[in-house]
Amino acid sequence: MDKPTMHMLDVQEKGGQTRKTNQYIAAVAAAIGAVAGGTILAWTSPALPQLEPFKNVTIVNGTAANGTALNTTALPGNYSGYINSLGQPADFLLDTKDSSLVSSILAIGAAISALPVGMLANKVGRRPTVLMLSVPFLLNWLLTIFANGAGMLIAARFFAGLATGGACVAAPMYIGEIAETSIRGSLGAFFQLFLTVGILFTFVVGGWTHWRTLSIISAVFPVFLVAVFWWMPETPQYLLGKNRRRDAEKSLRWLRGPDADLTAELEDMQKDVDEAARQRAGMLSMLTNRASRMALICGLGLMFFQQFSGINAVIFYTNNIFQSAGSNIPPVIATIIVGVVQTIATYLSSVFVDKAGRRILLLQSTTIMGICLIILGIYFKLQKDAYNVSAVGWIPLVCLILFIISFSMGFGPIPWMMMAELFPVEFRGAATGVTVIVNWMLVFVVTLCFPIMKDAIGIYSCFWFFAVFMVIGTVFVFFLIPETKGKTVSQIQAILAGKKA
């Protein structure tokens, strides 16, 4: 191993040690965008039931036209208006088509914004790009708060998609570039960790508040993002790429501390930037270059198996799994329990990823999730065939918890983290954009097709369907995904190019 590419802390033993505090501060500041994205992703869970009418009942001025009795205990005695599926008054309601659009338009907006945001990050910088995303975040919440019908909500969710898709590109890119090698994995896991925090926040607050109140509270996060992230520096790599070496050194000094010896790291960064300048950063050259082509294959594969892990199927069936265990826990509480487990497990991933490595966490993820999916499929198949499975009703609940823990420690955070590690500097913006586009397209496809699959082949077959992909995913990770723990950009590129690092 050449001296300039040694582990960061090793080369700094002759000088001063780095301080990691400011790196954590900068990563947390950028990850506030992930919290904002998490609130958007989870918003439909508590909000849509408040916007849906009673099923199979025509509501006319607060009265069921077919005479069906309604639970109107929450209504004033002289109330005349819309009544939602919870028996509560509503300003307006969504039909099935509108509800579906409100749920799915997010993924379309996210796919549209991913590539432009990646290119924007390369042009104007990572920091301004993250800050600019606060605009569509706020537009979403303003349109939602003042919505008077389905049209405004659909428009709001489209802007929400633009913001969330952009955050999935810009925030991991920023965090990956400000982190030193020894903690790059831990900081890289922050994006998914804070995403789960935003989701859990929405489950907790949304479970007991009106959807407008939830939207007003959630609108604080984009404002908070600007207020905190405004003071963070641009990434040194971007500044070096713009021939602003003095600014790059100033940024790195703030990130690493006043006593750190920056010489070796700056030289490594400069070499990567100089190499990038000699490369044509177009899509064609990315595909013809072995290292960048392999990086793209790895990135796209990780996103594919993340979405085909069956996470949406398991989350969708959470309430049924709790009921199978003989639990009388209300759906709102069951959802919160899942959110808590997901957040804790993602935090554990951020702790272990720089110690255990990426590959082992990905492999445990595909293996355990695959086993859990097979068992869930067997259980619900037996239940469908009228076998008495009440004595082992705890099994699907255990599988649910193990599945979520395994996903949250592996395929949840690591694909996002590795985007900033796999792609070389010259292709990072475009490649990250393409990867995120594919991810959101897969989200759209799985979300759209899963209910259809469930009705056509049964939930047990859906679980087995996703289990097959976990078997393939294990093979994919074992043979193609490199271990990036403790390695510099140039070392990772050498591995991807088939050379010895």
Q: Is residue 405 in a domain? A: yes
Q: Is residue 245 in a domain? A: no
Q: Please measure the distance between the N-terminal and C-terminal CA atoms of the chain and give it in whole angstroms.
A: 7
Tell me what the mean pLDDT of segment 78-87 comes to: 63
Q: Is residue 241 in a domain? A: no
Whether residue 106 sits in one domain with residue 43: yes
Tell me what the mean pLDDT of segment 10-33 comes to: 77
Lowest mean pLDDT among 26-35, 83-92, 219-228, 487-496: 83-92
**Per the confidence metrics, is the pTM higher than 0.95?**
no
Q: For residues 48-75, b (16+ Cβ closer than 10 Å) or e, as one string?
A: bbbbbbbeebebeebebeeeeeeebeeb
Q: For residues 134-150, b (16+ Cβ closer than 10 Å) or e, as one string?
A: bebbbbbbebbbebeeb
Q: Is residue 413 in a domain? A: yes
Distance CA 222, CA 204 (A): 19
Q: Is residue 363 in a domain? A: yes
Q: What are phi and psi of 52, to 5 degrees?
A: -105, 140
Whether residue 417 sits in one domain with residue 334: yes
Distance CA 483, CA 312 (A): 28
Distance CA 189, CA 208 (A): 30
Q: Is residue 56 in a domain? A: yes
Whether residue 472 sits in one domain with residue 330: yes
Whether residue 342 sits in one domain with residue 460: yes
Q: Which of 234, 267, 301 is the last residue of a domain?
A: 234
Q: Is the pLDDT of residue 14 over 50?
A: no
Q: Is residue 41 in a domain? A: yes
Question: Number of folded domains in the chain?
Answer: 2
455-476 pLDDT, tens digit each = 899 989 999 999 999 999 999 9
Q: Please, are residues 163 and 36 in contact by the beta-carbon 8 Å criterion?
A: yes
Residue 326: Cβ-neighbour burial (10 angstroms; 0-12, 13-18, 19+): exposed
Distance CA 263, CA 168 (A): 32
When pLDDT is cut at 50, 70 and 90, the band that residue 258 belongs to is confident
pLDDT recorded at residue 320: 76
Both tokens assigned to 472: 């393939």
Q: Which of 234, 251, 269 is the last residue of a domain?
A: 234
Concatenate the DSSP letters of all residues of 366-391 into one string. HHHHHHHHHHHHHHHHHHHTT---GG
Distance CA 464, CA 377 (A): 6
Whether residue 300 sits in one domain with residue 155: no
Q: Radius of gyration over alpha carbons of the chain, in Å?
A: 24
Whether residue 297 sits in one domain with residue 198: no
Whether residue 312 sits in one domain with residue 368: yes
Whether residue 327 sits in one domain with residue 227: no
Q: Is residue 310 in a domain? A: yes
- Tally of CA atoms within 13 A in the half-sphere of 4 that contains its CB: 12
pLDDT recorded at residue 7: 39
User: In sequence order, which residues have a C-beta less than 8 Å from that of residue 249 and are 6 or more positions away?
Assistant: 236, 262, 266
pLDDT recorded at residue 11: 38
Whether residue 122 sits in one domain with residue 45: yes
Q: For residues 82-106, b (16+ Cβ closer than 10 Å) or e, as one string?
A: bbbbeebebeebbeeebbebbbbbb
Q: Please, are residues 172 and 121 in contact by the beta-carbon 8 Å criterion?
A: no
Domain at 327, CATH number: 1.20.1250.20
Range of the domain at 355: 280-501
Q: What does the mean pLDDT of the chain come to? A: 85
Whether residue 378 sits in one domain with residue 436: yes
Residue 384: Cβ-neighbour burial (10 angstroms; 0-12, 13-18, 19+): exposed
Distance CA 302, CA 100 (A): 27
Whether residue 284 sits in one domain with residue 218: no
Whether residue 194 sits in one domain with residue 325: no
